[in-house]
Amino acid sequence: MDGRSGRGRSRHPHSAGPLPISPPPPNAAPIIRIWNGEKDGVATKQTADQAVRQVLGDTLGLSAERVAAFDADTPLFGALPELDSMAVAGVLTELEDRLGILIEDDEVDGDMLETFGALTDFVAARMPG
């Protein structure tokens, strides 16, 4: 383990160069993989919203229609049977990989997973700026 993440892999190896970006799963919707540099709140929130929707759909196998119907108050953990404790790790790792963010283990709690809006706000706050 690297001390930054309990998922057992270093996000920033000592070798030079960026980490390779893994391809999306088959049938995955395209996603913005490189953050656009805007930190005006609106662009960041929209990018986070899009990424969270796509990751939830791809990782949990949710239909595009179901994910599109999510609003800020849609309950997630404890309400979506697909989002169990094992799936949380996959969702967070995929968000890290697609958006180039780092989510520390001690930042993960029930509040950030309670609703779609809470998860989107959590992700937007960690995007580079």
pLDDT value for 128:
81
Domains and CATH numbers, the chain: 42-126 (1.10.1200.10)
CA 93/CA 71 separation, integer angstroms: 22
Mean pLDDT per 10-residue segment, the chain (129 residues)? 46 45 53 47 85 97 97 97 95 96 94 97 90
CA 22 to chain centre: 14
pLDDT value for 83:
96
